């Protein structure tokens, strides 16, 4: 399974990618939307885990852009300080919305559900 993690907290997202790789997930990470879109244009991913609040372009807008390039991709929102409106948007879209710091086992569970098409 191939997962793209996007979060502006570089140490956090790099560590998360490493922890997922220990569990057999091929994880790439980007620290902003521009990097994420470059990855999406170069290689396929099954699931994207997107930080909702990032400078310039947050996860909700990034999801819309990714869907134009990779329509079959699944999504999970991740945030440390999301608003009620962001949460409602995620729920409306049928996307899991996880709060940082995320438990790695919970994240794996949600990634597997998303990859299987049961969410996001």
Superfamily of domain 2-115: Response regulator (3.40.50.2300)
**pTM listed for this prediction:** 0.89
Q: What is the pLDDT along the chain (120 residues), one digit of tens a residue?
A: 999 999 999 999 999 999 999 999 999 999 999 999 999 999 999 999 999 999 999 999 999 999 999 999 999 999 876 555 655 555 556 678 888 889 999 999 999 999 998 775
User: Which positions ≥6 away from 116 have C-beta within 8 Å?
Assistant: none
The answer to whether the beta carbons of residues 79 and 60 sit under 8 Å apart is no
Q: Tokens 């997107």 label which residue? A: 50
**Domain extents for the chain?**
2-115
For the record, the structure tokens of 110 come out as: 């949600």
């Amino acid at each position: 399974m191939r997962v793209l993690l996007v979060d502006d907290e570089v140490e956090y997202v790099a560590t998360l990618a490493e922890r997922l790789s220990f569990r057999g997930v091929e994880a790439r990470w980007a620290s902003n939307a521009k990097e994420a879109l470059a990855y999406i244009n170069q290689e396929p991913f099954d699931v994207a885990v997107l930080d909702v609040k990032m400078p310039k372009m947050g996860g909700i807008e990034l999801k819309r852009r990714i869907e134009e390039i990779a329509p079959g991709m699944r999504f999970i929102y991740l945030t440390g300080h999301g608003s009620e409106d962001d949460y409602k948007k995620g729920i409306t879209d049928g996307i899991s919305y996880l709060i940082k710091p995320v438990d790695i086992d919970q994240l794996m569970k949600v990634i597997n559900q998303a990859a299987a098409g049961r969410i996001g």
